[in-house]
Structures are given as structure tokens and as C-alpha cells.
Structure 1
């Protein structure tokens, strides 16, 4: 209460930003007042509008935070009820940096609680909605978005997004939107390879301030940005209801996914830092240094046996690897990708002395042990499918669609969720395992459940149970790290960032291809989530050769791994690998926790990532040569200069025998000189 009136305006404050909302006098919706740096709401709203709206309604032009189809009948609603719905403000509760604002429909009984939270130490506003049917009749929701974010774009909207395909994920691009709409999303039951649930928006005339939106949902999703004629861009984010309308029974409650908004005055690079700080918070006490790992996939594929794996493990231990991961092919019936999925028993023919004896041999080398699993899928040629053919998604009377020779288990069924959990939990309890690579190699194709009646939310049930399984495993096996993979990077979103420890961003490990993939990845995700391997694979899209040094420096940008067939590396290559691994261990704390500055890009002469230690006394720079190697160093050329950020101008920084002022490193840049045999570099600068 204030001056005898209920407070209807609230401001949430982050580390550097604030988010202010208010309920207008009519009480029909909540709207944005201002979103930006501290103090931005002290003045007229940059997004507010109370002028004429010919052929529209007031809500179509207003910066509405969460709109029904009655509020915004023409410009796009966040919530669409088949019988229509209209809200009225009822109450609000604010405590700390959290806010709940409640609206209700007096006709159909639908109640919506709009939740807001800015976690301490971040500049990310989390938003989600809790819907409850307090009425006597079921309600069908044709659209159930999580939030609408409003951004002032008086000169037009510039939208940055990430597109891709398998082996070419996280390709950063942008589109200028003068009028109309831009949309990305997935109907595959996973975030997918095609787009990332992440957008960044700025005004076309200003390269500084930028707003970002991301979705914490590991199923089908959509994000749409639409710019109106008055200069406002509204971004709608939420689930994509691929299974049709949701039904909300009387008394039933539905919690929608978190949509997160971020602001930075420092462009896309500054916005990346905001997301990084937030994801480190999501990791909590699990944000420990990730081990250097070896994964056997590209060396042996399905030809897994104790002898070949131990041969790899011995070399891996010699060069400094800390965790050895056996990939696909270790279980019964798995000679190729046509059989075995679902029958998660170690193959005694491949491990004649016993699986635990094999693990003991790996551990005797000083290595921790990891294992690949794909527990949500099943091969038609498996014991599990023979016993439970009704456990897969299917539409009655229609043939099943096989993708990678496998079907998808209906994880929304309680008995299936229990099987998946008990299978993985059993492996972790029976064997000495420290690391799981959890794969998912197909989208959902069949929108049905045999024998079920009524309205189904298959997508929602699958994701909900997946989250529960991850959370139970992390609770019961806190020492086990989980790497999320879906044929590469098809399962990367904020929902998984809160539950998985590492992401596998792509099956493409070719050096120049991977450089572009990681450049986009780091705009949306923190380095502790970036699993990257050194392999012998050429690129699919840019096959130009690069040195072993380039591959190591590239993989050191996140969580270092090796996937090459190191049995065929020469003694010199193994010695070089050992030196790079030792160097990575010296800098990985800074890579995991430091402030990241992205310098240039894979399509530019300048291409580097800078990590500034939390105490700002150490700087790590990883740099790569992106051009042709032939002729490099043979003709007159000056060094490439990499402008560094976040340094004290008056301080001096030492790298080996070289001493630089912070001002020089910012204004002129750190020099790197490329030759045909020197195409990547790690530079560590320490404040003198």
C-alpha cells in the first residue's frame, strides 16, 4: 500500500539493469514501462503509447507483458483460449527481486499468475506463467506462450539469430526488420539443429544497447519478433503446441516454461557475458573444472572391445587425459546402429573379463571412466522393443517412422520414465562411472500414444519427465557429470543448461567448421558448457587443413576433449598433445570462470576469444588464423592486431618477454603473426 492505494508499478533490479512494469488504470493487463540500465524508468516510458489506434485496439499497440487474444486480437497474443478469455487484475506480491502479478477471467474462471525473478548477481529477468482453471468447465488452450518482451526500435529492428543443420549448428546471422514478423522454432520435440531458442534485438541505428530473449524448454518451441508501425518490436516466446490444443481441466494448474530476457549496453559481446554469468549461476556448485576427456567414438566407432579401448586409454593417460569415455557399441547386440538400443547390458563378448574388470583397468591408469547412453530410444531389433512395442510413440494403424534405424520411447508414460531412470541409475550404481554422454539421435515423428484417449500433451510430458530424471540422477549421483547431446547440438537450451553439465554442440569436429560453430555457441552459452574435441576429421564445409596446434587451441576454448585415433599419432604428435593438455590445465579455471570477449570472427582476419580472470590480473587469449596458409610469412605483412577489452589502461601486462600497457592492448591490440606452420596461439598476459 502507498498513500492509501494499492501499488501497481514495480521495478526489479539486477546488477546493472532494471525492469519496470505497471498495471494501467483499466486493469486488463500488465505492461512494460522500461527495460535497460539502472535509472531507465526515471522518465517517460520509451515503449508506452496512448495515442490513436485506427483499425486496431489499445492492446495491439500497448507494450503488454502477457496478452490474451481479447487484449491483442490483431497484433498477436501470448495466450489463446478457444472460447476466448479476458483478464482483470486481482492482486500482486513483491518480495526482493521477485514479483507475482495475478489476473483472472471472471467469465470462464481462468487465473494467470505472472511470475518475475532476477536472480542475484545477474541481469537476466526470468518470466513464466502459472495458469489455473478455477471454473466449472474444461478450457482448451490453442496457444500457451510464456512471455512477450517489448523493445524500442524506432529506426527498425536488427535481429540476430542462429540457424543451422546437422554438422553446421550455431551459425550466427542477422536480419533487418523494417516491418512485419520474423520467427524461428522447432516442431521436433527437441530444440533442434535448425534454430537456437535465442534471439538478440537492437535498433538498426544503434550498435550499442541490445536485448536478448531465450527459452528454457527442451521440447518444441517458437520465438517470434514483430515490429509494428509505431517502432515497437515485441518478442513472443514459448512452447509450440505440436500436439494440438492443451486441455486444462477444472482445478488443474499448468506452469509454462521460463522465458528469459537479458539486456546489455555492450552489443552482442556484452549480451553474451550476461548469458554466461546467468548460466554459471544455473550450474551452482557443479561449476567445477571439467576434466580433460578422451572419447573413443571416432577411433573405433561400434568396434568396441576391451583390448582396443585399453590401448586408447593407455595413450590417453600418458598425454594427460583425466576421463576416458567409451562411446556407442559397448552393450549387447550393438555391432552397428540397427540393433541393441534398449538392451543396456555390457556385452560379455566384448569384455570377456567382465565390464567391471575393464573399468578397473581404465581406472588403474589414473583415469576416471565415462559411458555413452541413448536411453530414450530403441531399435526394432532389441529385446526391449519385442517385449514393449507399445512403449514407442505411434499413431494407431499407421506404420512407424524409423530414423537412424530406431524409434522413440514415449517418456511421458510413467512406466517408460521409470524404465529410463532405473536403467541409467542402475548403470551408475552397478559400475564405477563418473561421466555420462546422454545422446538423442532422432526427432519425434509420430504424434500418438497407443490406447490413449482424450487430449494428450506428449511434448510436455516427455520434457517434464526428462527433467525429473536428470534431477534425480544429479541428486543421487552428484559426482557424475552429464553431457547432453542430440546428434550434435539439437538439445541446447536454458532448460538443459540448468540440468546438464556440458553440451556437445556438433558432430562436426573439422577445425574451421568447428570454429564457426563455437563462435555462435559462445554468443548464447558459457564456456563450461562447450565440449570440444581434437580429432583428425576434416571439415565438411571448409576442409582446408589446419595444424594439430590449431585443433588444440580451438578445443581449449571450452571443455577440452580428444576424439582422434591416438594409436596412430606419432611420438612427436603425442608429445605435442601432452604439452597442450598441460597448458590447458594451467588456464582452464580462467576459461571456466573468466569474462569472455569475442574478438572478430571466423569470417574475419581477426579471430580470437579473450578470457579475463575474475581478479582481472590474468588474461588468456586464444587466437586462430582463418585465411589461406600458403604464402603466409613469405610476403611483406604486419601482424594481426587483436584489441583486448576490460583491461586497466594504466596497468602493464607481461606475456613472456613482451610488456604492454593496457591502453596499447585496447587501442592497438595484441600482435599475432601467422605462418604456414603457425596458425593458432595461446597468449597468457599477467598484470605486472
Structure 2
């Protein structure tokens, strides 16, 4: 057959796929610049395959250690056909490339979904057994690219830097960046047998790492970036397939890293988990910004992400899961007076242990319905905390049959005293539906905080060939349940939480309108986590706690409010017990937030002092809004009260908003308004702002425009 070239160009993304005369399909180019013809030897050409698939019992074609390259029948696949499919709304189009393996009858369809104006693609792989024998699959890539370092002339170990976001409970979104040798990957021979492999295992999809990566080419000034969109186990790896080149592989669970395998019977099919991969000209900030633009386009459309109502939740530094009428009513009054619009009763409102979700008969005078009515009488939407996927082993619901729960080797999986419900079971789905629908119908609940405080581990072997496949089936069934929930209740607002950010993936956040970023209980560290969060989640979906305490001085209250000013406000703390000065600062902060929130859904984030770490001495998060910049600036424990902030090219165009037209630029302290000395100097020519923060652990919000 004649050589075929399949090309796509959108925004700055240039993709070139070549079909050779023997039918091999090669991804030659996936980058921010146009393709420059290469002189590829046989090894380099072979390594450019479009997809990797490993079947049990098949050989690997290279000595590769545990790398997911050189797979078989991945290396035997031959081109069958391709087509571009245009979306009805013309906002996206999909490329499908079909290959097959004559030896096994396996058909492989690679999907690339492109979006108008975006420099990335959503990618996934479909397997179909069109042969006559069962095919046990151990690995399939969602995205595979050999050529990640080919732009420029320097060796990859000298020019490539990997940005990797580590995650932990109360220590979320902690980016680290190093050269590849500093990460432990060096050029040693024709190719190494080691790799940089990052994965998550279990029902917490981000408990150690977020499923995101940015690979920066410092010579060409460009980035390759990716995100795996799955609420369970996933894996990606970066390594060298030959002396001068790097590859990237993205996947969901597999046998080595996710205890997953799946035998496809003749006529059966399987789809890998989706991923997003893209390329931009620029560095880390430009990659994060492009992901944000993509996330805003693909998520479920809902009014909540436009209006951004202010939430009060009575758990953090307040009731700690011990609500009663006497405790809740003063907080409802204080939340309403402060300008909150939703009141969420957190843990403790139910009878007994987790599982049945029946309202307590002793905590609330007149019952929980009366408490919800009181919340509504103050102009607030009533909300409840739910940990719907968990059943405490002492709950009456634990008497249900084993197929309601995750099990391994005939025993139930238990973690933190909880059993894991299996959403593949229709009875479990009916229980979840009935619970949520009942609370909405009987109590008028308009907001749920769906929490999830356990990791059920490798999976379940009930009705599953492998633990990982049982887990994957549950993960997908849970997402399907959420989709049906929002079809029944399109106005319902749901906050996703898993001990803070332990399930902060975009399979989840594509559906739920906001994410609890962290359970961090120290407001100072919360500020650093908040400042980094727009790198992985749009500001209008990032739920950040603010919890001024009765012991807080004015600067502590201000710091708390600055933490939430550019995100989704989740107020906590003893609002009803604050002194007048503290209450006034909270009210002013919420009023200020409401003047900004209508623009957050289009804001672009940047970090003029670099993305902060948990123990940074200072931090600055900037948002580019309509013709102006808004900066949140934090001083931690450093001695200097002056912080110099270089804004560079981002200061260009200030005062020329889309809706305001040309106007004179001004610099002022937006919050607190009384801090007139916060702007120590503004050098418009150099685009350098100097902010004065009066003491350790103080913060301000500055507006330029």
C-alpha cells in the first residue's frame, strides 16, 4: 500500500501520523510547532508506534524491564482505515484510526478528540476481539508517543525538565520540578531499562500524586503535558526507547501497576480510560492554562459554576461533626449575616453509623426537617454531608449480602472501619438513588458534600476476573450513577471531597461542580495549597476553607479571607463567636468576593513568584480578568515586609477590558480596603509591583487595572 499521512492542526497543536507501505501506523509528531522532516533509522521508526497493547503469553520485542513498550500484539498491528468525525456543534472533531492483528484477530481503534481553539486532544483506545480465541489483555495505552524530546538539538538529559504534582492528605498540589537525571532517569546505553513510572492504586485516585504531568523542553521553549481522567487506578511512564529519544505512555489500570487484566471473549470489546495530552509553546504556566481552558469546555454545564454561591460548612474548627439545634441555629444566623448563601450541616446529622442515612431523632428539635426549614427561612440553601459509598461495619446495612461490597478471597475489604459499596450492583445503585432522592424530597436539600474517607485498595474479585477489573467496573458504574443523578436533579449542587483532595481527578470533576481541595486545618498552610490549586483545577471549582477563630487577630482573619478570595468560598469556624472586628472583616471579604466571582470562570492563573510549596516563605497568585489583574499575596514567616512582584508581559493590556474599553490603569488594595499602604510602589514601565505586608502571616488582595 502507498504511504498515507494523517494530519491535524488546531491552535498550536500539530499532529502527524504516517501509515507506512507495510501498514504500520506511526505517530511521528505531537508538538506545538510544525513537523520538520526527520531522518529516522529502523529502530527510531519502529518506536513511533501509535498504541501499545500486551496480551498474556505474547513475547516482548525488546529487552525493556517493566516498561510498557515493545508490546505484542502492539508491534504487529496493521492499518485498516481512518476517519474524521465532525461534532454537530462544530466545536470538536474526532479522529478514529483502526488497526488489527492478523494473528489474534484483535482490532484496535485509537480515538483522538480535538477541540476548537485548544492545543490538546482527549485520547482513548478501544479493543475488539474479532478473532475466535479469548484474548487476556494485560496492558493498553490511552496515549503513546515516542518523540517527546525531539525538538532542539541538545540531548534529552540536558534540556528536559519534568514537573510532577505530589499530593497527600492536608498537603495537596505540591509541584516539584527537576531535570530527568535529578529524577533518576539518565542516558546510560542504547536505552535504559528503568523509567519514571507514576501511578495511583485504588479508589483514591490522587492520594500520592495527581494524575497530571508537564514535560518541559527548555531548549525549544515548549511543553508536552497530560492528564489521566479516571477516578481509580492509573499509570503513566516516561523513559527512553533509544539513546536520543523519550517516550510517554498514559494508561488506566494495568496488570503490573493496577492488578488489572481482562480477557476479551470473541465478540467482546473494551475501552481504556480517557486521557488528555497536549503541547504548548511556553512553560509550566502555559501548560496549566491550556488544561484549565479544556476542563472548562468538557465539564458538565451547570449554573453553580457561573453563580458560585458562598458556602458555610459547620465542620472545620466549629462543630466537628456534632450538630444540634442549639449549636446550628446561631451558626445559621451568623452565616446569613456574613453573606453566605448555602449552609451545609456536616457529619453527625444521621442516626447511628454510616450507611442508612436516616435523620437523627434526638439532635434537632422538631427533627432535621425543621432544621432545614430554619436554614431556608434565613435565605440559605440547606445542604448535607454524605459519605454515600461507605458503610460502617456496625451499620445495619452491613447485613446486606457480600455482593453489595468489595471482597477479596471471600472476605470483605475493610478500611477505617468501613466497607466499600460496589456500584456495579443494581441494589447498591437503588440504595444510593433512594437516599439522595429521599433527602431532597423530604428536606429540600439543594447541596450535598459527597465525602469519601477510605481507600478500598486494589479492588474486588466478586464477578471479576481480576481485582483491578472489579475496581474499574465499580469506578465506571459510580460515574454513570452520578450522570443519572444530575439528569434527575440538574440544579443540584454537589461538592466532591475525599479527605480533601484524595480523589481530585477530572473524571470526578467533569461531573461535580466543586472540589474540596484540602482538609488542611492550619489556615497558613491552607493559603499555600490554595495558591497552587489553579494549576490542576479551575478557580471556580476549587473549594477552599476559610475558618477565622475566636483567637484570631485581624491579620489572621484577613489571611483566612484572602485564602478563598479567588476560588470557591467554603466558610467554617465559629462565625457566631467572632468579635465585631472579625465579623466585619468576614463580611467585607465575602462582599469583595461577590464583586469578583462573576469573572472567575474565565480567569487565567499565573504565579509571578513561582508556584508555591507548602512551606514557602511567600506566595503570589495572579488572575487575569477582564482588562485587569487581581493578585493574592501572602507573607509567611519571612522577615521582610516588602514583597516585590514582577508581572512582565502580563501587565500589558491592563485597563483595556472587553466590557470597559480603554481606561486609566490604577493600583489599589482590594481587600482589606483599609490597608491603603499595602501598595508600596508600582513601576508601570518595568511592570513591577511592591506590596507591603505588615507582619509574618499576613496577606492582601491587590487589583491592577
Pick closer, same or farther for the CA change 1:666–1:268 going to 2, 3 Å.
Answer: farther
Give the distance between the partners of 2:413 and 2:264, measured in 1 at CA.
31
Q: 2:635 aligns to what?
A: 625
Q: 2:287 aligns to what?
A: 271
Query: Do the aligned partners of 1:645 and 1:666 also contact (CA within 8 Å) in 2?
Result: no
Q: 1:640 aligns to what?
A: 644
Of the three residues 262, 275, 299, the one matched with 1:246 is 262
Of the three residues 282, 304, 320, the one matched with 2:323 is 304
Deviations 1:57-96 (CA, angstroms, capped at 9, x unpaired): 852xx32221345786445446956x88721100000234
Q: 2:440 aligns to what?
A: 428
1:563 is the counterpart of 2:588: no
Q: 2:612 aligns to what?
A: 602
Give the distance between the partners of 2:311 and 2:620, measured in 1 at CA.
24
1:281 is the counterpart of 2:281: no
Query: Do the aligned partners of 1:68 and 1:86 also contact (CA within 8 Å) in 2?
Result: no
1:591 is the counterpart of 2:600: yes
1:144 is the counterpart of 2:117: no
Q: 1:227 aligns to what?
A: 240
Q: CA deviation at 1:191?
A: 1.0
1:161 is the counterpart of 2:164: yes
Pick closer, same or farther for the CA change 1:294–1:642 going to 2, 3 Å.
Answer: farther
1:355 is the counterpart of 2:368: yes
Query: Do the aligned partners of 2:207 and 2:502 also contact (CA within 8 Å) in 1?
Result: yes
Of the three residues 202, 220, 223, the one matched with 1:188 is 202
- SS of 1:65 mapped into structure 2: coil
Query: Do the aligned partners of 2:126 and 2:269 also contact (CA within 8 Å) in 1?
Result: yes
Q: CA deviation at 1:501?
A: 0.8
Of the three residues 279, 282, 291, the one matched with 2:309 is 291
Give the distance between the partners of 1:425 and 1:648, measured in 2 at CA.
51
Deviations 1:425-480 (CA, angstroms, capped at 9, x unpaired): 33233331221111111111374345x47556211111111111111111111111
1:574 is the counterpart of 2:551: no
1:89 is the counterpart of 2:105: no
Pick closer, same or farther for the CA change 1:544–1:359 going to 2, 3 Å.
Answer: closer
Q: CA deviation at 1:405?
A: 1.8
Q: CA deviation at 1:155?
A: 3.3
Q: CA deviation at 1:190?
A: 2.7
Give the distance between the partners of 1:6 and 1:415, measured in 2 at CA.
55
Q: 1:44 aligns to what?
A: 37
Pick closer, same or farther for the CA change 1:666–1:318 going to 2, 3 Å.
Answer: farther
Equivalenced residues, count: 647
1:415 is the counterpart of 2:427: yes
Deviations 1:504-542 (CA, angstroms, capped at 9, x unpaired): 12111423322332344322221122100112589xxxx
Q: 1:512 aligns to what?
A: 524
- SS of 1:160 mapped into structure 2: strand
Pick closer, same or farther for the CA change 1:233–1:516 going to 2, 3 Å.
Answer: farther
Deviations 1:530-579 (CA, angstroms, capped at 9, x unpaired): 100112589xxxx9996211111111131111111213211211111000
- Which moved further from structure 2: 271-280 or 642-651? 642-651
- SS of 1:361 mapped into structure 2: helix
Query: Do the aligned partners of 2:627 and 2:654 also contact (CA within 8 Å) in 1?
Result: no
Pick closer, same or farther for the CA change 1:623–1:131 going to 2, 3 Å.
Answer: same
Q: CA deviation at 1:417?
A: 2.6
Q: CA deviation at 1:182?
A: 0.8
Give the distance between the partners of 1:440 and 1:609, measured in 2 at CA.
29
Pick closer, same or farther for the CA change 1:417–1:370 going to 2, 3 Å.
Answer: same
- SS of 2:478 mapped into structure 1: helix
Query: Do the aligned partners of 1:293 and 1:321 also contact (CA within 8 Å) in 2?
Result: yes
* 1:642-657 to 2 correspondences below 5 Å: 642-643=646-647, 645-648=649-652, 652-656=664-668
1:343 is the counterpart of 2:356: yes
Deviations 1:122-165 (CA, angstroms, capped at 9, x unpaired): 22211111111111221101112211134115332311101132
Give the distance between the partners of 1:517 and 1:232, measured in 2 at CA.
35
Q: CA deviation at 1:666?
A: 7.3
Q: CA deviation at 1:384?
A: 0.6
Deviations 1:151-184 (CA, angstroms, capped at 9, x unpaired): 1153323111011322112211023223442111
- SS of 2:178 mapped into structure 1: strand
Query: Do the aligned partners of 1:558 and 1:592 also contact (CA within 8 Å) in 2?
Result: no
TM-score, with structure 1 as normaliser? 0.87
Pick closer, same or farther for the CA change 1:641–1:295 going to 2, 3 Å.
Answer: same
Pick closer, same or farther for the CA change 1:667–1:66 going to 2, 3 Å.
Answer: farther
Pick closer, same or farther for the CA change 1:666–1:591 going to 2, 3 Å.
Answer: farther
Query: Do the aligned partners of 2:407 and 2:460 also contact (CA within 8 Å) in 1?
Result: yes
Runs (5+) with no aligned partner, structure 2: 87-92, 181-185, 188-193, 656-663, 670-675
Query: Do the aligned partners of 2:342 and 2:381 also contact (CA within 8 Å) in 1?
Result: yes
Deviations 1:614-657 (CA, angstroms, capped at 9, x unpaired): xx4232221111333xx655xxxx55234254343696411349
Query: Do the aligned partners of 1:327 and 1:372 also contact (CA within 8 Å) in 2?
Result: yes
Give the distance between the partners of 2:379 and 2:653, measured in 1 at CA.
45
Q: 2:658 aligns to what?
A: none
- Which moved further from structure 2: 245-254 or 417-426? 417-426
1:11 is the counterpart of 2:24: no
Of the three residues 552, 558, 565, the one matched with 1:549 is 558
Q: 1:337 aligns to what?
A: none
Of the three residues 49, 64, 67, the one matched with 1:64 is 49
Of the three residues 339, 345, 351, the one matched with 1:326 is 345
Pick closer, same or farther for the CA change 1:453–1:162 going to 2, 3 Å.
Answer: closer
- SS of 1:165 mapped into structure 2: coil
Pick closer, same or farther for the CA change 1:586–1:677 going to 2, 3 Å.
Answer: farther
Q: CA deviation at 1:375?
A: 0.9
- SS of 1:261 mapped into structure 2: strand
Give the distance between the partners of 2:549 and 2:427, measured in 1 at CA.
41
Query: Do the aligned partners of 1:590 and 1:620 also contact (CA within 8 Å) in 2?
Result: no
Q: 1:474 aligns to what?
A: 486
Give the distance between the partners of 1:34 and 1:13, measured in 2 at CA.
10
TM-score, with structure 2 as normaliser? 0.85
1:674 is the counterpart of 2:693: yes
Give the distance between the partners of 1:369 and 1:251, measured in 2 at CA.
49
- SS of 1:548 mapped into structure 2: helix
- Which moved further from structure 2: 669-678 or 588-597? 669-678
Pick closer, same or farther for the CA change 1:6–1:325 going to 2, 3 Å.
Answer: farther
Pick closer, same or farther for the CA change 1:284–1:13 going to 2, 3 Å.
Answer: farther
Q: CA deviation at 1:492?
A: 1.2
